Structure formats: structure tokens, C-alpha cells
Chain A
Amino acid sequence: MPEADFRSYYGRPVLKPPVWEWKIAAYLFTGGVSASSALLGAGADLTGRPALRRAGRLGALGALMASTYLLVVDLGRPERFHHMLRVAKPSSPMSVGTWILVAYGPGTGLAAVAELVPRAVRETLPARLLRRLARPAGLSSAAVAPAVASYTAVLLSQTAVPAWHEAHRQLPFVFTGSAAAAGAGLGLVCAPVSEAAPARRLAVAGAALESVAARLVEHRSGLAGEAYRTGKAHRLRKWSEYLTIGGALGALLPARRSRAAAVVSGLALLAGSALQRFGIFEAGVESTKDPKYVVVPQRQRKS
């Protein structure tokens, strides 16, 4: 592609780069892990797979706690995080996301705590009550989980950042696919081979969705696609693709027999998902630094 001809103010950027740091990219990953772990945990609960259930519920809570930490410390004024709760604003994906997480948290927490009751107190009344509540809690968490995994795509797209905005049709599918692959990866790492069949299937489905949608992002975002195809974003996403597809192949074949292979496949899927999120984040940041991503498409639109 020839270098686009355009004018600018001394080559300086038109837009401000996002002030978000690596923590937000990391949150995109941990949020996805939590959501699909919650789904696996609820499914395992209903189909009698206790080890997968435990992995799913604890993974969902652990990743949610990591998410909360990352979101709060990325604020310019972390001690004011609760100001998010003073309004509910449909025009702000971050406000919508806040309330999605508020709806998601309690069920996720309760289902996970039920897995942690020590044997000694298992038959006490509170523990029995908790066990009774764990299934509806886990199901409520699973009901909100798809929203947790997908709203983050809108969070990025509803900005003036060219690479994120122009990819708004494909990004949600990359994100839910990536979430599915990552949560399934955690299931493969933590659950025995005998219970992990649903995680293996989810790994393949998620990896396929992520890989296809990730390719579409590169080719259907106009000039902004270049931000995905070049530089650090490209390197991160290339490795993401290798790891995700490798992990899915592993889940398809050797992970059905060998626990060690399942662990390796699961780790590859987790790493692939994380790199995908960091790659997308990086592409967005790059697209704000070069004025061509702003000026050239807008100029074409006007003429």
C-alpha cells in the first residue's frame, strides 16, 4: 500500500493517546477469563463434574478480583472508584460495564465461597445453606457472564481511537472468542482429563471464533487495519495466533489422554488470549499517535 498523502500540523497527533496503561489491557484478559470460567463452572455444576465446577467457580472469582484491582488502580484517583456508582448512564459503556460487574459479582463470589468451606464445618447450618445457594448463585453469575465478556469491546470501540472505533463490528467476537478460549484453558489446566471434555470443546470453539474475527479486524477496518498489521501490535497478535491455534489443536487431540498435554494446551490458550488483548490495546494506542489514521479517512469521507 502506498504511503498515504496527507497534511498535518508539523506531523503532530490530532488525538490524545489513551491514558490507560497495561492494566486495562490486562483487565480485558482477566474479565474474559472470569466470564467464561463462570459459564464452565455453572455447566459443570448442572452436569455433575465437581472438579471442573470447582475450577470454574474459583477461577471466576479469582479473575474477577484481579479485574477489580486492575480497574481501581488504573484510575487517576483510585480512592474515588465508588464515584462510578453515583450514576447509571446508558451512553457510557464504562457506566454500563460498572453495573454489569455489580450484577455479576455477588453470584460469582457466593458460588466460589461455597467451594472453600473447610471439611470440618461442612455439616453446620450456615455451610449447608451456602451449598444450597451455590447453584442459583453460580447460574446468576453465568447469566451475566456473556455481557461481562462482550461489553469491553464496546468500551474500546466507543472512543475516537481509530483502530478501536473502526473495528467495532468485529471486536466483540474477538473478545468473546478470546474469553471462551482463555476460560477453557484454565479449565484444562485445573480439571482432570475425565471431566474436561466441555472445556476442550469450548477451547476449540473459542479459538476458532477468536482467530477468524481477529483476521477480519485487520482487513475490514480500512486504513486503521494497518495499526493491527504493523509494529508491536502485529508481533503480539501473531504470537497470540500461534498460541491460540496451537492450544486448540492440543485440546483437540493429546489433551484427551494426557493431563500434562492438557496443562500445556491450557497455558497456551491463556497466553494467546492475553497477547490478543495486549495487541488490540497497542494497536489503538498507535493509531492515536500517527495523525494519518485520523486525517486520511476523514478527508476521504469528505470528498
Chain B
Amino acid sequence: MTDEAARTDPATATGYGEHPPRVGFFTDTSVCIGCKACEVACKEWNGVPDDGFDLLGMSFDNTGMLGANSWRHVTFVEQPARPEPRRAEAVDLGLPSFDLPGAGTGEEGRTDFRWLMSSDVCKHCTHAGCLDVCPTGALFRTEYGSVVVQPDICNGCGYCVSGCPYGVIDRREDDGRAWKCTLCYDRLRDGLEPACAKACPTDSIQFGPLDELRERAARRVDALHEAGVSEARLYGESPDDGVGGDGAFFLLLDEPEVYGLPPDPVVPTRDAPSMWKHAGLAASALAAAAVSVFLGRGSR
């Protein structure tokens, strides 16, 4: 394998020799209808427990966020539409009008708005913060390039929770261990696609080899731009971003933060050399201080 392949293919970098191509999700939010079939299919297949009947009172989203018990999360953003260029209006000549009270339908006072819906999921990063910081080896890189927790190894230290720049993985309260999307590792090994992609009725969630998905996504963005949807953009598809590219990337219709995604996530490990260097300097300072306080003459 070339250096380039080792840099961009996490399974190769991990040391897998022969391995299947890296797979992932392309979630095209422009065709998401917010049906939450993905959330349900994920829970059903993976036996993920429910987390109570909790109405959040902000939108049709009552899941709120990804977590130990929600491995897919459909966001609902309700926002005023961009102001359309107005057609020329009739000129008001200032004549008295005689509208009857209640004759209006209310339509004229209505403002246009749009709904953005997006099914969020673990990004299965090329450089995964959760995987880097896990001290037990419970988190591992699969031959498909995905990142999976082994529940029989995890001791619930919680480091991965703070290591994730997307706020995906979390510890389950009554269980003590960390949980997240496995990209349906069990289904992949049987040649099946993940449950969420299988259940998605509009093909908003597309599963496949990452290279293919990236090409398909680029074509889709071009098509949307041609159709006048200038705000369409890809999120997480670039291998040059702070996490080396996501195994699960998105087509969004607004800034990522509007969907609760970080605009420019960076794997915390990237600054590790600088951190250890400063810790080394601080440790040396402590050692030097400890030696010198015993060298002074002083009153014993």
C-alpha cells in the first residue's frame, strides 16, 4: 500500500492487510422527510433501549441528540425561508378601500418558511478521537474502516465521551458502559446494509463504499446547484478536514451548526505532541524545584 492509502484508509493504517473497501453513509438531507424510520430501525435491530417518553417542546424532534440510546437522530429545523425576489406590486393610489371585515383568508399575512430535516449519526472518523483516547482497547477499528465499541471490554471510564468532537458517544446511565452506532457491524459481515439505510424510504441515507458515495455526493451537489439550490453543500466528505474526513458525511442545506454539528471539528489527538511537550516542561520545572529547595542553605 502507498503512503497515500495509509493516510486516507483507516483500515490500512490500522494494519489490516487484505480488507474490504471502506464503507460508510452519505446522508442526503435534501430528500429527508423526517419520518424517523432510521431511528426506529436502528433501535429494533440493535436492541437499543428507549429513553423514556420525553417531549422536548421545541419541534417535532423529541430525541434531542445522539447518545448511548439514540444512534440515529433526526433533527427538525424550522426557519423562515430566504426572502424571494419580489415581483412588482400594484401601485397604491391612496384611494379608500372597502374590504369587509373577515374577508381576508389570512394568507396575505403568512410568511414562507422551510423545514430542514437531517438524520445524524456517528461519523466513523478517519482520525477518531474516541478511539485514540480509549485506554482499554474496547473501541477498535474494523476491517470496514468503521469504529466500534466492544461491550465486553468497556469499563465505562468515559474518556471517549469527552474525546469526541461531535458529541456522539455517551455512557448509558444504568449500564455504565459507552455506546454508539456500530455501522451495523454484524449486518456488514453478513453482506447486509445497515438497518437505518435499509429502512430509509427516500434514500436520504445511502450506504456503500466511501469512494462511490463521495462521487455520488459530488454529482448530487452539482445537480442541486444547477436547479438553483445554491445553499447545498457537503459536510465531512473532505479527507483534509480536522478529523481526516468522515465515514458518514452529509449534504446540508444550511451551515452545519444549524443542525447541531460543529463547523470545523478537530480530533483532540492532533495537538498531542504540543501537550506532551508542555507537560514535559512542567514536570521538569517541578523536578528542578524539588531538587533546589533541598540545596538552599537556610534554616534546615
**A residues with CB within 8 A of B:** 6-10, 12-16, 18-20, 35-36, 39-40, 43-44, 46-47, 49, 74-78, 80-81, 83-84, 86-87, 89, 91-95, 98, 142, 145-147, 149-151, 153-154, 157-161, 165, 168-173, 175-176, 179-180, 194-195, 197-199, 201-202, 205-206, 209, 256, 288, 291, 294-295, 298-299, 301-302
A151–B276 CA distance with the chains assembled, in angstroms = 8
Cβ of B164 < 8 Å from any Cβ of A?
yes
Contact A36 B298, CB 8 Å, known A83-B155, A168-B278: no
- Which chain B residues in 132-184 approach chain A with CB under 8 Å? 132-138, 153-159, 161-172, 175-178
Q: How far is the CB of A169 from chain B (nearest CB, A)?
A: 5
Q: What are 16 A-B contacts with C-beta separation under 8 Å? A: A10-B58, A14-B166, A36-B290, A43-B290, A83-B138, A87-B137, A89-B134, A146-B283, A149-B282, A151-B279, A157-B271, A158-B275, A201-B292, A288-B162, A294-B262, A302-B264
Q: From A19, which residue of chain B is reached at the shortest CB distance? A: B158
A206–B282 CA distance with the chains assembled, in angstroms = 11
Which residues of A have CB within 8 Å of B299? 194, 197, 256
A256–B165 CA distance with the chains assembled, in angstroms = 50
A154 touches B164 (CB 8 A): no
Q: How far is the CB of A287 from chain B (nearest CB, A)?
A: 11
A16 touches B265 (CB 8 A): no
- The residue that B162 contacts in the complex, of A36, A147, A159, with Cβ under 8 A, is A159
Q: How far is the CB of B135 from chain A (nearest CB, A)?
A: 4
Q: A77-B156, A157-B275 are in contact. List 5 more A-B contacts (CB 8 A).
A: A157-B268, A165-B271, A195-B300, A201-B292, A295-B262
Contact A92 B132, CB 8 Å, known A19-B158, A75-B155, A150-B279: yes
Q: How far is the CB of A279 from chain B (nearest CB, A)?
A: 18
Interface size class of B (residues with CB under 8 A): 35 or more
Contact A180 B286, CB 8 Å, known A83-B136, A93-B133, A195-B300: yes
Total of A-B residue pairs, C-beta within 8 Å:
252
Q: From A179, which residue of chain B is reached at the shortest CB distance? A: B286
Contact A18 B162, CB 8 Å, known A91-B133, A154-B275, A197-B298: yes
A79–B59 CA distance with the chains assembled, in angstroms = 41
B155 touches A81 (CB 8 A): yes
Which residues of B have CB within 8 Å of A173? 278, 281-282, 285
Which residues of A have CB within 8 Å of B276? 154
B176 touches A77 (CB 8 A): yes
A171–B176 CA distance with the chains assembled, in angstroms = 29
Which residues of A have CB within 8 Å of B287? 39, 146
- The residue that A18 contacts in the complex, of B59, B161, B176, B283, with Cβ under 8 A, is B161
B278 touches A147 (CB 8 A): no
Tell me which of B153, B255, B275, B282 has the highest count of chain A C-beta atoms within 10 A of its own C-beta. B282
- Which chain B residues in 187-217 approach chain A with CB under 8 Å? none
Q: From B272, which residue of chain A is reached at the shortest CB distance? A: A158
Q: From A21, which residue of chain B is reached at the shortest CB distance? A: B158
Which residues of B have CB within 8 Å of A169? 274, 278
Which residues of B have CB within 8 Å of A295? 257, 262-263
Cβ of B62 < 8 Å from any Cβ of A?
no
- The residue that B290 contacts in the complex, of A94, A142, A298, with Cβ under 8 A, is A142
- Which chain B residues in 119-134 approach chain A with CB under 8 Å? 129, 132-134
Which residues of B have CB within 8 Å of A44? 294
